[in-house]
């Protein structure tokens, strides 16, 4: 049979219950870690003080962070604001502490005029937790909307059992990433939510490629079980999946190693997400579709209906 001419012949489907069990345990562990330990939310969500400083020359961000760390501000977030000589420093504080914290930070840099000449306090303000709560709710809403949109898209493009498997695999990945952040208590910021959305899109793209090949093979072959056809399709796309994942992983790893503290959370989530996304597109999406009772007749029936609709449209 033509479909059997593949470069690899790994029997993925025979181990599907093993990997589904492993994923179920990881998901439960991630949820428990979140419930027990919670997330270390950044000041994007918890609120805090914003301090804007101006320098007479472009400051070294690494030196600025090191100076703040020595002064006891270990959780300070430093980023350029406006121009290269303006810095925005964000810290976790309580209401009423903004002015005192801003004055102390200014004094910290004024003590080292040689390294930080001409430093000036431009502005300071307190951002309450209400703003952070609104941002957190919007981030959660974004994840829900993306999930629903993808479920509708995959449901229209594929058979509904494929859609459920694809969405289950897509949700599997951010849950494990969030579990990792809860377990390690790394800072959870808006950039991490952005990374979760990227991971969801990446995982779905990988899954859709595999599903496309499965659908083509199910239509082309009239022999062999659905599980055998799934194995063939996964093996046929395996090299593409691994090469794409490896390249993406190397880019994410470069951001993790050399991107600096500002995007450290984003890069961490991306590194983990690429790995679990590749895993889920192979070991989660297809086994769930198979577990839901997907048969060749479901795909052929959908093809027949689509062809009939096109014919009726042409007649009209």
Provide the CATH topology of domain 2-39+132-315. Multidrug efflux transporter AcrB transmembrane fold (1.20.1640)
Domain residue ranges of the chain, discontinuous segments joined by +: 2-39+132-315, 48-127
CA dihedral 172, 178, 184, 185 (to 10 degrees): -170
How does pLDDT run across 2-52, given as a tens digit for each residue?
444 446 677 888 888 899 999 999 999 999 999 999 888 877 777 778 888
**Mean pLDDT of the 171-194 span:** 90
Query: Which pLDDT tens digit goes with each residue over 79-122?
Result: 877 777 888 888 876 665 666 788 888 888 888 777 788 888 88
**pTM listed for this prediction:** 0.77
Give domain 48-127's CATH number out of 3.30.70.3400, 1.10.10.10, 3.30.70.20, 3.30.1360.170.
Answer: 3.30.70.3400
Mean pLDDT (the chain, rounded): 81
CA 195 distance to own-chain centroid? 4
The reported pLDDT for the residue numbered 273 is 93
Confidence bin at 193 (pLDDT 50/70/90): confident
How far apart are alpha carbons 217 and 196 in whole angstroms?
32
């Amino acid at each position: 049979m033509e479909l059997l001419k593949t470069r690899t012949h790994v029997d993925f489907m025979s181990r599907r219950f093993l990997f589904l069990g492993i994923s179920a345990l990881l998901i439960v562990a991630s949820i428990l870690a979140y419930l027990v330990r919670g997330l270390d939310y950044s000041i994007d969500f918890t609120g805090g003080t914003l301090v804007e400083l101006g320098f007479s020359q472009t400051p070294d961000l690494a030196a600025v962070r090191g100076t703040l760390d020595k002064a006891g501000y270990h959780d300070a977030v430093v980023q350029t604001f406006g121009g290269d000589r303006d810095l925005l420093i964000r810290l976790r504080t309580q209401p009423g502490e903004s002015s005192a914290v801003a004055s102390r930070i200014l004094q910290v840099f004024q003590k080292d005029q040689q390294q930080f000449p001409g430093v000036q306090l431009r502005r300071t303000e307190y951002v309450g937790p209400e703003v952070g709560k609104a941002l957190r709710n919007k981030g959660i809403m974004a994840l829900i909307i993306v999930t629903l949109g993808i479920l509708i898209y995959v449901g229209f493009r594929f058979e509904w059992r494929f859609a459920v498997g694809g969405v289950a695999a897509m949700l599997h990945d951010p849950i494990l990433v969030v579990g990792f952040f809860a377990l390690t208590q790394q800072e959870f910021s808006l950039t991490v939510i952005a990374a979760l959305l990227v991971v969801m899109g990446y995982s779905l793209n990988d899954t859709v490629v595999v599903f496309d090949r499965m659908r083509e093979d199910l239509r082309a072959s009239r022999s062999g079980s659905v599980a055998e056809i799934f194995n063939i399709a996964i093996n046929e796309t395996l090299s593409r999946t691994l090469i794409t994942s490896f390249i993406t992983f190397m880019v994410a790893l470069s951001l993790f190693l050399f991107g600096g503290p500002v995007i450290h959370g984003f890069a961490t989530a991306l590194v983990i997400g690429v790995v679990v996304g590749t895993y889920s597109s192979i070991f989660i999406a297809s086994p769930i579709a198979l577990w839901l009772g997907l048969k060749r007749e479901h795909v052929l029936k959908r093809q027949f209906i689509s062809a009939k609709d096109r014919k009726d449209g042409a007649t009209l």
